[in-house]
Amino acid sequence: MRHVFTIPNSLSLSRLVFLPLLYVFLWQGHLLLFFITFTILGSTDFFDGYLARKLNQVSQLGKVLDTVADMFFYISVAYFLYYLYPQAILSNRYFLIAAFSVYALSFIIPLILFHKMYTLHTRILRSNAVLVFFMMLLSFFMNTSILLSLILIIFVIGFLEEILIFIRFGAVDQDTSSYFSISLDCKMKDWFLDSPLFNTLNHKQ
């Protein structure tokens, strides 16, 4: 149990457990409480991954918890924006449809290929999650419609990259940073396996 309830896993789980509070604060008009709670919960998305690496507590369970928490949290952000600032959502409805369509496809493809839910934490998707967090906070002070358009376009690119990685390289590590990085790793591995040094070492064994 000690390996299950680690600090990083608890932070990821807190995003799921306390997410309903945001809906309660929003519907009851407690916007200051909503703002504070959103800031705290959104921050856990950074700290869970950071502490997992720092404390050497990276685990498959932690990756699944982080993925599920992110899915519910950032889908909720779309609802929060629509509830508070519907024009930002309505003006980006086509980008939103495209982003959620590709997002759904990024779940369907690994289900077909690997018979399980499988997502990646690529550099593009991680960076964009940070933008979503700050966009929600900035929405209280300014019009973020253009920023939302940019975020949705980047999400489409990120999910398409994820799908391409699945199709090209299979069930890679979930922390794969990009298509370019894994492609480079494969080329370096192929180069090493074909190198005279490897063949010499292999013959000696």
Contact indicator for 202, 194 with CB cutoff of 8 Å: no
Tokens 């921050």, located at residue: 43
Same domain? For 176 and 148 the reply is yes
Could you tell me if residue 80 is inside a domain?
Answer: no
Q: What is the pLDDT of residues 40-70, one digit of tens each?
A: 999 998 888 778 778 788 777 778 888 888 8
Of 48, 75, 102, the last residue of a domain is 75
Tell whether the model's pLDDT for residue 198 goes beyond 60. Answer: no
Of 75, 107, 123, the last residue of a domain is 75
Nearest to 154 by CA among 129, 176, 133: 129
Q: What is the pLDDT of residues 84-112, one digit of tens each?
A: 999 999 999 999 999 999 999 999 999 99
Number of structural domains found in the chain? 2
Q: Write out the two tokens for 36.
A: 């504070």
Nearest to 37 by CA among 19, 64, 57, 59: 19
CA distance 171 to 163: 11
Same domain? For 62 and 122 the reply is no
Q: Give the pLDDT band of residue 166 (cuts 50, 70, 90).
A: very high
Same domain? For 97 and 175 the reply is yes
b/e burial code for range 151-181 (CB count within 10 A of at least 16 → b)? bbebbbebbebbbebbeeeeeeebebebbee
Domain that holds residue 14: 1-75
* pTM for this entry: 0.84
Tell whether the model's pLDDT for residue 119 goes beyond 90. Answer: no
Could you tell me if residue 175 is inside a domain?
Answer: yes
Same domain? For 147 and 59 the reply is no
Percent of the chain with pLDDT over 90: 58
What pLDDT is recorded for position 201? 45
What are the DSSP calls for 55-110, one per residue?
Answer: TT---HHHHHHHHHHHHHHHHHHHHHHHHH-HHHHHTTHHHHHHHHHHHHHHHHHH
Same domain? For 114 and 47 the reply is no
Q: Give the pLDDT band of residue 191 (cuts 50, 70, 90).
A: low
Contact indicator for 183, 146 with CB cutoff of 8 Å: no
**Mean pLDDT score of the chain, rounded to an integer?**
87
Same domain? For 63 and 114 the reply is no
